[in-house]
Amino acid sequence: MKAPILTPLATALPATVPFTGPETQERRQGQPFIARLGANESIFGPSPAAIRAMQAAASEAWMYGDPEVFALKAALAAHHHCAPENIVVGEGIDGLLGYLARLIVEPGTPVVTSLGAYPTFNFHVAGYGGTLHRAPYKGDHEDPAALLALAQQTQARMLYLANPDNPMGSHHAGAAIQDLLANLPEQTLLVLDEAYIDLAPAGTAPEIDPDTPNLIRFRTFSKAHGLAGLRVGYAITSAPLAQAFDKVRNHFGLGRIAQAGALAALQDQAYLSEIRAKTTTARTRLSGIARANGLIPLASATNFITMDCSRDGDYARRVLAELLARGIFVRMPGVAPLDRCIRVSLGDETALAAFEAALPEALKAAG
Amino acid sequence: MKAPILTPLATALPATVPFTGPETQERRQGQPFIARLGANESIFGPSPAAIRAMQAAASEAWMYGDPEVFALKAALAAHHHCAPENIVVGEGIDGLLGYLARLIVEPGTPVVTSLGAYPTFNFHVAGYGGTLHRAPYKGDHEDPAALLALAQQTQARMLYLANPDNPMGSHHAGAAIQDLLANLPEQTLLVLDEAYIDLAPAGTAPEIDPDTPNLIRFRTFSKAHGLAGLRVGYAITSAPLAQAFDKVRNHFGLGRIAQAGALAALQDQAYLSEIRAKTTTARTRLSGIARANGLIPLASATNFITMDCSRDGDYARRVLAELLARGIFVRMPGVAPLDRCIRVSLGDETALAAFEAALPEALKAAG
């Protein structure tokens, strides 16, 4: 053997990385970022109760985590008024999207998403050979009507929608999601990514029977709960689809510290309320910084503000590069016309002040 | 849609679980186990330095882990005298075996393993539609000659061998592995699972150029390092195969606490030496308990002792059930003729004393 023999599908896949990590950029630049505002992490941190739970679990890390994730699933089911059989817990939404793609996608399977939406979903669909069809955004929103039409046209097996949306920060009212669901083609599963739902206005999350067979909703501890580095996400879906994950998932993939931290975070709803309040304040502050510098802050239902630079993608990319060069880690949408914007995560006052100081210089340098 | 539409392959897969967790059995029995000796975890626990590192990282868990796992990969590369490009880090060996199967296996791909060897490898191969061919053990050892013949006969793409072996605890000298590698068919990749290698006699791990294209070696922090609940494993392989994992892996799947804990564990080699000494002592103690009860303890290069009950599988299963009923969590090999044995992980004196007290009663009750 001269080289590893991969499957034809694996051979054809590019060695892409959905996102370059900030640590990689820090190593390239030879110095750490001053403000980490690019990955929509919660700079406010996790609940102190969750930190204590993880620290206590550290000395028990010699034991595998419960492969049934019993305690956390029971707590999630109680929280969402469904049965534990409606819950799948996994290694972040990213990991769960990978399992979902494996269950549903084979070479040529049509899948619909929005042009410029979450790249990791695309990474997994392409990774199993699926064919992605992309509907453009309508203004700053994913466009349910266009997605629906595309799903009908392509006989899609999955339709991905993030509500609230990343990278634009916009949202649809829950009624729009119910409407979309009611009009789905017979063979289409709605993949509803609600990673930011804890920070969205009341009414954004529709009340839907968890046993609805053509819906899977994704939630995470990475955003409002401030546990991106713990890797715990979950799905709420009909029991048969939830059970199908057992066919393919890494059964011992969710470790002991991860389960303990997520459970403690879920139980600290008071902390979540604090985070919501801090989020509202930080949105106002960050939007003000944008306006003071001639950028248009888009309305946000998330933990970031997307700022319209009102010119083309090349200009926004220059602004981004100048911010990075000044130690401010931010990201931006990948495709036109969304790429007229930069995307800045909320931060504490230290981080936002650093952004505020760097932005005028970056805009000036970008020309 | 009345039910989720899965791919034909996913539809055909059983909703199997490679192992039932001890927590599930505890819930069924309505009480916790007295001694947790069934999952080959390290009851001695992780290094205190690793515990401190994980506890410190807990408050930083709002940040995603570095998707390149740079610091840990660099340390592993230095430890193994190879390049970081030869290392893949992932969510335990289980997670990495899943990615490997995805890269190499498609429906009908022939794969060779031993009859009774690690079921999670089989789970992943079957999960991608591969065809498993199994060579019987020779005595208490996986049989390299039989595996080689079967690989030649079936034109296998992968040949799995665990050295040391689980569930028997036996090992081959490194020279036997080099011999196997030298005689592999052209299209066969040797999947060498060295999960227990840190506890094996000197010379068990062969020195092989990491850029050898037909070899991938798996290591873990779950066994000697006592971090099963952290979920960090890694592979050492040729750079092209290592890079291929980037096509399919969950790039942000390794969290911040996981990376910090594994790095600190790797750096505490003095603790690993302590664990080796404790392992030797505990093997002697546990083997003595077996002998005192008329069972034959097999020689072990691992953190468990497999005990030959000298009768058939039904008898060993009764012994196992009686131990479980007495609060002692142990497991046993799944298939004949290995299933004449029970498999007992090493423990501290408290756990071993509990096993010592329960074993005579369990043997008597088993008849």
> Are the Cβ atoms of A23 and B251 closer than 8 angstroms?
no
Q: How many CA atoms lie within 13 A of A95 on its CB side?
A: 29
CA angle A346, A352, A358 (to 5 degrees): 125
Q: Which domains does chain A have, with CATH numbers?
A: 8-45+270-366 (3.90.1150.10), 48-269 (3.40.640.10)
Of the candidates B134, B125, B133, B118, the residue with the CA atom closest to the CA atom of residue B102: B125
Q: What is the largest distance, in Å, between two alpha-carbon atoms of chain A?
A: 62
Q: At what angle do helices A256-267 and A48-58 cross, to 10 degrees?
A: 160
**What's the DSSP call for residue B9?**
H
d(CA B142, CA B121): 15
Nearest residue, CB atoms, B250 vs list A27, A45, A94 = A94
The Cα-based distances of B274 to B42, B201, B281 in angstroms read 12, 15, 11
Mean pLDDT of B56-62: 98
Residue B15, pLDDT score: 83
Q: What is the pLDDT of residues B309-326, one digit of tens each?
A: 999 999 999 999 999 999
> Are the Cβ atoms of A187 and B64 closer than 8 angstroms?
no
Instruction: List, in sequence order, every beta strand (DSSP E) within B238-320.
Output: 296-297, 304-308
Phi-psi region of B222 (alpha: psi -120 to 50; beta: other; left: phi over 0): alpha
Q: What is the pLDDT of residues A110-163, one digit of tens each?
A: 999 999 999 999 999 999 999 999 999 999 999 999 999 999 999 999 999 999
| Preferred mutation among B33, B64, B208 to probe A, highest tally of A CBs within 10 A | B64
Q: What is the pLDDT of residues A1-36, one digit of tens each?
A: 888 899 999 999 998 777 889 999 999 999 999 999
pLDDT above 90: percentage of residues in chain A: 97
Confidence tier at B18 by pLDDT (50, 70, 90): confident
The residue of chain B with its CA nearest to that of A9 is B103
CA-based nearest distance B57→chain A, Å: 9
Concatenate the DSSP letters of all residues of B20-64 into one string. Answer: --HHHHHHHHTS--SEE-SS---TT---HHHHHHHHHHHTTTTSP
Average pLDDT over chain B, rounded to whole?
A: 97
> Are the Cβ atoms of A68 and B21 closer than 8 angstroms?
yes
pLDDT above 70: percentage of residues in chain B: 100
Instruction: List, in sequence order, every beta strand (DSSP E) within chain B.
Output: 35-36, 87-90, 110-114, 131-135, 158-162, 189-193, 215-220, 233-237, 296-297, 304-308, 328-329, 341-345
Of the candidates A143, A142, A162, the residue with the CA atom closest to the CA atom of residue A97: A162
Q: How many CA atoms lie within 13 A of B214 on its CB side?
A: 19
Confidence tier at B4 by pLDDT (50, 70, 90): confident
Chain A partners within 8 Å of B227 (Cβ): 61-62
Chain B partners within 8 Å of A252 (Cβ): 19, 21, 92, 94, 231
| Preferred mutation among A17, A62, A69, A123 to probe B, highest tally of B CBs within 10 A | A62
CA-based nearest distance B74→chain A, Å: 13
| Preferred mutation among B9, B42, B63, B123 to probe A, highest tally of A CBs within 10 A | B63
Q: Is the ipTM of this complex over 0.95?
A: yes
Confidence tier at B307 by pLDDT (50, 70, 90): very high
> Are the Cβ atoms of A229 and B7 closer than 8 angstroms?
no
d(CA B364, CA B366): 5
The alpha carbon of B218 is separated from its chain's Cα centroid by a whole number of angstroms, namely 9
CA-based nearest distance B34→chain A, Å: 14
**What's the DSSP call for residue B348?**
-
Whether the per-residue pLDDT at B155 is higher than 90: the answer is yes
Mean pLDDT of B198-214: 97
Residue A1, pLDDT score: 82
Q: What is the pLDDT of residues B253-293, one digit of tens each?
A: 999 999 999 999 999 999 999 999 999 999 999 999 999 99
> Are the Cβ atoms of A230 and B14 closer than 8 angstroms?
no
